[in-house]
Structure 1
Amino acid sequence: MKVGFNFSNLLGTVYCSGNLVFTPDGNSLLSPVGNKVTCFDLVNNKSFTFGFEHRKNIARIALSPQGTLLLSVDEDGRAILTNFVRRTVLHHFNFKSVVHDLQFSPDGTNFAVAAGRKTEVWRTPSYNEEREFAPFIKHREYTGHYDSVNSITWSGDSRFFLTTSKDLTARVWSLNPTEGFVPTALSSHKDSVVGAWFSKDQEKIYTCSRDGTLCEWQYTTKPGQESEEEDAEEKRIERWYVVHRNYFLQNNAKVKCAAFHKELNLLVVGFSTGVFGLYELPEFNMIHTLSISQNGIDFVTINASGEWLAFGASKLGQLLVWEWQSESYVIKQQGHYDAMNTLAYSSDGQRIVTAADDGRIKVWDATSGFCIVTFTEHTSGVTAIQFSVRNLLFSASLDGSVRAWDLIRYRNFKTFTAPSRLQFSCLAVDGSGEIVCAGSLDSFDIHLWNVQTGQLLERLSGHEGPISSLSFAPDGSSLVSGSWDRTVRVWSIFTRTQTSEPLPQQADVLAVIHRPDSKQLTASTLDGQLTFWEIETAEQLGHVDGKKDISGGRKVSDRRTAASNPATKHFTTIAYSADGTCVLAAGNSKYICLYDVATGSLVKKFTVSVNLSLDGTQEFLNSKNLTEAGPMELIDDQGEASDLEDRIDRTLPGATRGDMSSRKVRPEIRVTGLSFSPTGRSFAAATTEGLMIYSLDNTLMFDPFDLDVDITPATTLHALNVEKDYLKALVMAFRLNEKYLIHQVYESIPADDVPLVVGGLPRVYLSRLLRFVTGFIEEGPHMEFGLVWVEAIFESHGRWVKENRAEVEAEMRRVIRALKKVQNEVAALGDENGYTLDYLLSQPATQKKRQELDEGFLVAS
């Protein structure tokens, strides 16, 4: 089995905190998720997560106007510069201060950083210059604000920029010294200024404050003064004055974010009540308002064309893209706002289902990374889910119910309950999908139901402690249960006696699972052991001591070191690989361990996260953060909310789920669920950070000719006819996208070299090659030559096409249509040739007989 799994994608979390950024073409959206960045392709309905990680949660991100450089900064001011196209990290840098905003200039030559009370302008690293040891060069530093800078906005010509601050002012700065320009403070607001923007002609400035006031500034003489009141000299003095003042009037709601599109004069404002409003400036006409969240909107941005608005709400992890002209959602995604408990792969590996303490079950598309549907029927945390045949999903919850879901019609069609109210913690379904069983921590019995009738069939007694885990053999021969009474029991529930055989363990059993061939089971216990048992003979085959492998990570409040902390020294979830040769195991730690079953050795160790914003990600605590009052991270230096409205609880009685107390806690890193995909090429882990996908096929489609500017028809023909480099010529022809040139290269490649050319072709061109070849099979005269190409494509890239069929679905339909057409034409041609051959073969015998008759007639005469 191949074990080279690498991080591939992050699902289940769409937005955590920080800002959102549209790409220059407006078709993709970048969103910070914890200490990573996810890109959502809104046109092709796909998403991917960059592989780099910050030391803490990301505070701000910015994308250069050319769409090549991505700059991200975490909560401590540590920045990572990334090549957006290649997804590779170029440079690390530390701004040594908390960064509140980050903006590239429109011409891309500089970027401004709001670091505390000052603003810093840095030169953008350029590929035109020679490689530099320190590519970050500071251009200038601007000071003058008396409190933290909130936002930065550049002018269209990149010569000036605006800054807003909590000191109730906005300021105008110039990038370089300009004759006649003096830095100006715009002070007219009575609350923190959220944003400031130039108009398209740069003759006006709009500023918006947190209390819902919008001011329009113009560079003019003081409005309203009479000539007789002031002398002529003072009248001629021009400066920035407020000419209009408008109010949003949203029932005392505070403005949390705002964005302005100067081409359309469109202002979008997000409020603390979850309402956003669209306004047309300078007339301040309200286009419409809409409530999109139960909590405040943290950030809003507009794409380049002004058609799409993106909103992020961190309280519930919501990400929305709204097309305001048609008043419809482009995407509406929300992750779990509570801890994930478990996950399951569908039988085809195309969908992943997750369940969490928030009572929600979400179905995710493994290819696109988007949530397809959310089930909310459970009224408490969902603890276990499992797939069955015919696209059926079963879930167990702490609300005392087991539910069956139809993933074709997306509905709950059956609910199973026990005679007494229990909180179910584990679940198992037999291979035929006829029997479902569940266990509870409240009762020591296992409940069995008939799926078709919904009746409770049996209550299996035998355990002397709470049931922690259940597993049905894939062939339905046995049921295995694990309990806190230090035993694993194998039940023969389909026999007349329904006997069970106990397998004693050394500690409380936390998880049990069958091998895919149903002949072996693995049990995880509280002492950090993995035990392998033969089911038929009840013989122990081996064990793994994983205490030292999984141990790691010290929490801020821990009194013990990571090496001596018993809380992280056991596995709470285990999963077999598709071929049954390896076992994945994880628990309340930042590590996922992959073991070889035959030898019991540790094959590979995966680190889930290095995010220091989570508890348990570092091995040793820094002594400088230890004070007389305890660790610095546990000291609340913010106090109560500064605003009265933030301290008032406006929720209705009975409307809040879960823990209704308000406290500030640090999330802890842990892995609550593991599952291998049916293909064995990837596995998923439900973690504190989200649903993490690790894959063997995590190769970025790299086009080696993207950086080459010397691609012309002449060089393509030279590579084809002179150099005889057929692969290079084919790729260059695809880059030029000239049909006649592709046709010429295609027909010039010898049939014997086709497998070599196809084998070396970058996969980024695979779908285009399939479209081209199938088109010429249907229209061109060289049918057999086209079939040679199709055969070579599937021999070299068949596995990739199978595992990424969603990306080449249209091309595969064309291939099937072309092959059916070839089959029909060849069959018709064969029938026609058969009739012709029969006719031709019958001709010599008829002619010979005619000659004999003629000769006989002559003799007779």
Structure 2
Amino acid sequence: MQCSVSVFDLVNNKSYTLPFENLKNIARMALSPQGHLLVTVDEDGRALLINFMRNALLHHFNFKEAVQDIKFSPDGRFIAVTHGRLLQVWRAPGFNKEFAPFVLHRTYNVMHVEWSPDSQFFLTAAQDMTCRLHSLHPIPGFVPLTFSGHRDAVISCFFSNDLQHIYTIGRDGSAFVYGHKRTVALEAPAPAASAEETTTGEERQIVPAETSPLSTHVLATTVWGLRAKHYFNQPQARVISACFSPRSNMLVAGFTNGVFALYDMPDFNNIHSLSISQHRISAVALNPTGEWLAFGCAKLGQLLVWEWQSETYILKQQGHYHDMSTIAYSSNGLHIATGGDDGKVKLWNTHSGFCFVTFSEHTAAITGVTFSSHGHSVFSSSLDGTVRAFDLVRYRNFRTFTSPRPAQFSCLALDRSDEIVCAASRDTFEIFVWSVQTGRLLEALAGHTGPVSGIAYAHHRSLLASCSWDKTVKFWDVFETTAAKETLLHQSDVLALAFRPDDQELCTATLDGQLCFWEVSSGSLVKSIEGRRDIAGGRSETERTAAANSAAGKNFTSVCYTADGACVLAGGNSKYVCIYSVAQGVLLRRFQISKNKSFDAMSDFLNSANMTAGGSLAMIDDSDDEADVEGLGKSRRKEEGGAGGMDVSLPGVAKGDFSSRRVKPRIRTRGVQFSPTGRSWAAASTEGLLIFSLDESLVFDPVDLDVDVTPDAVRQLSADGEHARALSVSFRLGEVDVCHHAIESVPATDIAVVVTQLSASSAERTLAFIASHALESSRHVHFYLTWTNAILDTHGPALKLRASDARNLHIYRALQKAISKHYDDLASMCDENKYALAFLTAVPGASADNQLSAMV
């Protein structure tokens, strides 16, 4: 479930999320044919109008009812929207500022819509098992045509590219083909004034007189007949989604059993069939050329792009089936590991946003993940009683750690040398210590009298800290003794802990909503922050008290320090994540991780429209209501392929059938981690993996500007060979394109000379620009590496002194991240083309290894 839009760039292998959200889960969305406007509609019919090219929100609009389908006309001038049992045609908004961008054009009674190529006609499908052909503008003598014959609801209808056929798809697995029978003549349109206003019922519409003469159109003058009936023949499955490509005459159908089928129309030849999931395919789509097929599975959160000609996956992404429970950054900030309640460990690329590997060896929920210091392996703990180590080179589970007696592991920690791994038990209250090299259990540390909720190793010392529900934090030295070195007492249960990067301070989060800061060397409490009011917010629909008075959930369950140790990030059972200044002990900012009201505990106040004399509607159980059994429940079970209308409630049970209950997931943050680069942080939330980063775009600073600082001046200086001045002026201007031009206009042979003419501050700004904007996304890798090498060689001592300031460390970490990415890409590319290069440069009588060494 998502209330935001993610865009996947299949060519550049990247993804990003638009910077605005709907109030609830997005049910439908439509993109204009020109790719300029995007309309997203949530479950309640509230729509956002978005300028897709500039990622700007233009307008809010409310259709006031759930929308079944929404599509732009091929010319982009109209939007067809179906909601309830009606279809409304709206004039598409333009790019000018308008008070009411959406203007109603006409209303129809349908459920699904498909536009003709010229945007003058459209097909509609409804639950009454019929399909109808309508004209956008009234045509004298033309009556909307009805196509019938299906025995179940029509879910989709399509035009052929030459308008010689019409295809209708039924939910029961039938596909009907309609063709031309004969042509009839229509009476000529009567002359009209400049504009005519007509009123139909309560609707007032304006019919333009400049409508093009459509009386000779093939769709208006054709009598249609049923040509063929075809059936998909999928036993025990129903058609849930369908899509058609007019250019290639390809029809794709998705079924409730996870199978999709590809057919050539109108002959209905089965080209390909494949089972991609065990669950229903919620949506299918075809690219304009008909080569790529996109499938979506809402239950699994799965997105697939399939190229049917080569039978290969272009994109295969799937999130966690259940909640995401834990999160960890790699040492270079390039990768993120997440664990979920579905028992899977997933690795994500922070640059592209893609999940590139999934480990499913665990059989129960994941409770902890962590990377090794070198980043070549990842460790995970689970409630199935195992700790597993995964190799990130060969992508295999190379080590499994177990305890002598069954135990559910609740947390995980790895020492700085990657030699010792520890996991704490939820039921035996022990901490188990294993050797990574041998896999042998070394010790079982006992001392806690309650479930251990968190453990953490110091970054630069062999010190292990553990927190528990017994209101204590204990320090251990696993290399010296099995007894606790020191115990820190708290006033409430301790839920999470984290070491400061310099290991001099420890932060703990308690059940009463406090953050406590302890000095590690002396074991004394330095300060505490009261965070109950900061994290408070959001009232559940079934709670009897207001959000301000509720004591439930007002605590932090995950904490971490920032890269410089100056601030603490904390999240818990709330829609907020808080960041505190440790020195001042004050709240710096509170992040709202989601605005999706489809989750529970999102609103601070309950909607008065949902309140009754007996309390909130959510607290009233009506699952055994006869109206629900015969009405909504029946239609819902019928749509999902179940037994429609059958009352399966147990006699004498007030709650009815628990298997049919629908519960809203509660919004919460189960893990937060700061990136080692210091420029971003990630949160494992109910909505998924969220990454927040600083805006890395150049800042426009008018203080340093004068009349001579212009883009033309930068180009002129570059043309005159004054590259150092051009760089300085471009950074004062603050435009990315201008800075790119100033740097790339320098000949590669003159880079060393230009760098010597730069001051230390200019060299640092140039290096920061290369690390943040140029090196990571540019194809001129060698060129920018030459720049980097020259700057470090010439200004290395000065930059080393500036590096002592923690605010500038992100430059060097971002530079390391970009270089590591290019190194990995080039290494994989060389490995894939190793033997192809050897074949192309083959020398008769020489071995492949000799040829490769000669090439090198």
Structure 2 length-normalised TM = 0.80
Match of 1:652 in 2: none
Pick from 310, 326, 330: which aligns with 1:346?
A: 330
Matches within 5 A, 1:688-707: 688-697=686-695, 699=697
Match of 1:229 in 2: none
Distance in 2 between the 1:477 and 1:595 partners?
28
2:447 corresponds to 1:462: yes
Q: CA deviation at 1:645?
A: 7.3
2:186 corresponds to 1:220: no
**2:774–2:784 contact (8 Å) kept in structure 1:** no
2:152 corresponds to 1:158: no
Residue segments in structure 1 that go unaligned for 5+ positions in a row:
1-15, 17-33, 223-236, 650-659, 703-722, 732-741, 825-861
Matches within 5 A, 1:112-127: 112-127=80-95
Q: CA deviation at 1:215?
A: 1.0
- Look up the SS of the partner of 2:578 in the other structure: strand
Q: CA deviation at 1:212?
A: 1.1
Distance in 2 between the 1:462 and 1:102 partners?
61
Match of 1:639 in 2: 633
Q: CA deviation at 1:263?
A: 1.0
Letter in structure 2 aligned against 1:387? F
Distance in 2 between the 1:800 and 1:608 partners?
29
Match of 1:305 in 2: 289
Distance change in 2, residues 1:578/1:301 (3 Å): same
Distance in 2 between the 1:677 and 1:241 partners?
64
Which one is further off, 591-600 or 496-505? 496-505
Match of 2:729 in 1: 756
**1:755–1:792 contact (8 Å) kept in structure 2:** no
Distance in 2 between the 1:646 and 1:630 partners?
34
Pick from 679, 682, 688: which aligns with 2:680?
A: 682
- Look up the SS of the partner of 1:270 in the other structure: strand
- Look up the SS of the partner of 1:566 in the other structure: coil
Match of 1:572 in 2: 557
Q: CA deviation at 1:535?
A: 1.0
Letter in structure 2 aligned against 1:179? P
**1:165–1:192 contact (8 Å) kept in structure 2:** yes
Alignment identity in percent?
A: 48
Pick from 42, 63, 67: which aligns with 1:99?
A: 67
**2:81–2:87 contact (8 Å) kept in structure 1:** yes
Letter in structure 1 aligned against 2:725? D
Q: How many residues align?
A: 726
The alignment yields a C-alpha RMSD, in angstroms, of 2.8
**1:701–1:764 contact (8 Å) kept in structure 2:** no
Distance in 2 between the 1:771 and 1:485 partners?
62
Match of 1:669 in 2: 667
Match of 1:249 in 2: 233
Distance change in 2, residues 1:661/1:120 (3 Å): closer
Pick from 437, 459, 462: which aligns with 2:422?
A: 437
Q: CA deviation at 1:639?
A: 1.9
Letter in structure 2 aligned against 1:198? F
Instruction: Map Cα deviations across residues 716-749 of structure 1 (whole Å, 9 max, x no partner).
Output: xxxxxxx966524668xxxxxxxxxx9x963465
Match of 1:132 in 2: 98
**1:367–1:806 contact (8 Å) kept in structure 2:** no
**2:510–2:556 contact (8 Å) kept in structure 1:** yes
Instruction: Map Cα deviations across residues 358-390 of structure 1 (whole Å, 9 max, x no partner).
Output: 000000000100001001111111101112222
Matches within 5 A, 1:724-743: 727-728=711-712
**2:150–2:174 contact (8 Å) kept in structure 1:** yes
Instruction: Map Cα deviations across residues 45-92 of structure 1 (whole Å, 9 max, x no partner).
Output: 000111111111111111111111111111111111011111111100
Matches within 5 A, 1:366-765: 366-391=350-375, 392-496=377-481, 498-627=483-612, 631-633=616-618, 635=622, 637=628, 638-639=632-633, 641-643=636-638, 646-647=641-642, 663-697=661-695, 699=697, 727-728=711-712, 746-747=719-720, 751-760=724-733, 762-764=735-737
Letter in structure 2 aligned against 1:324? W
Match of 2:12 in 1: 44
**2:770–2:784 contact (8 Å) kept in structure 1:** no
Distance in 2 between the 1:820 and 1:807 partners?
16
Distance in 1 between the 2:762 and 2:87 partners?
55
Match of 1:292 in 2: 276
Instruction: Map Cα deviations across residues 685-721 of structure 1 (whole Å, 9 max, x no partner).
Output: 100011111111265999xxxxxxxxxxxxxxxxxxx
Structure 1 length-normalised TM = 0.80
Match of 2:785 in 1: 816
Match of 1:67 in 2: 35
Distance in 1 between the 2:569 and 2:586 partners?
12
Distance in 2 between the 1:749 and 1:57 partners?
54
- Look up the SS of the partner of 2:449 in the other structure: coil
Distance change in 2, residues 1:252/1:789 (3 Å): farther
Which one is further off, 503-512 or 454-463? 454-463
- Look up the SS of the partner of 1:643 in the other structure: helix
Distance in 1 between the 2:293 and 2:79 partners?
24
Distance in 1 between the 2:384 and 2:508 partners?
27
**1:380–1:399 contact (8 Å) kept in structure 2:** yes
Distance in 1 between the 2:336 and 2:287 partners?
31
**1:168–1:189 contact (8 Å) kept in structure 2:** yes
2:141 corresponds to 1:141: no
Distance in 2 between the 1:139 and 1:220 partners?
32
**2:445–2:482 contact (8 Å) kept in structure 1:** no
- Look up the SS of the partner of 1:756 in the other structure: helix
Instruction: Map Cα deviations across residues 120-178 of structure 1 (whole Å, 9 max, x no partner).
Output: 11111223x5x3211111112223x4xxx0x2111111101111111111111111112
Which one is further off, 132-141 or 90-99? 132-141
Match of 2:142 in 1: 181
Distance in 2 between the 1:694 and 1:427 partners?
25
Distance in 2 between the 1:386 and 1:680 partners?
18
Residue segments in structure 2 that go unaligned for 5+ positions in a row:
184-220, 645-657, 701-706, 794-856
Distance change in 2, residues 1:69/1:699 (3 Å): farther
Distance in 2 between the 1:606 and 1:277 partners?
44
Letter in structure 2 aligned against 1:291? S
Distance change in 2, residues 1:809/1:645 (3 Å): closer
**2:3–2:22 contact (8 Å) kept in structure 1:** yes
Distance in 2 between the 1:357 and 1:333 partners?
18
Distance in 2 between the 1:262 and 1:700 partners?
45
2:132 corresponds to 1:171: yes
Instruction: Map Cα deviations across residues 600-647 of structure 1 (whole Å, 9 max, x no partner).
Output: 111111111121110010011123213467643465554254339723
Higher relative contact order (CA 8 A, sep 6+): 1
Letter in structure 2 aligned against 1:666? K
**1:266–1:279 contact (8 Å) kept in structure 2:** yes
Distance in 1 between the 2:468 and 2:616 partners?
38
Instruction: Map Cα deviations across residues 528-572 of structure 1 (whole Å, 9 max, x no partner).
Output: 111111111111100011111111111112122212222221111
Letter in structure 2 aligned against 1:393? V
**1:553–1:590 contact (8 Å) kept in structure 2:** yes
Distance in 2 between the 1:361 and 1:805 partners?
32
Q: CA deviation at 1:488?
A: 0.9
Q: CA deviation at 1:258?
A: 0.7
**1:81–1:92 contact (8 Å) kept in structure 2:** yes
Q: CA deviation at 1:598?
A: 1.4
Distance in 1 between the 2:133 and 2:508 partners?
66
Distance in 1 between the 2:546 and 2:640 partners?
42
- Look up the SS of the partner of 2:780 in the other structure: helix
Distance in 1 between the 2:17 and 2:346 partners?
19
**1:552–1:568 contact (8 Å) kept in structure 2:** no
**1:770–1:815 contact (8 Å) kept in structure 2:** no
- Look up the SS of the partner of 1:399 in the other structure: coil
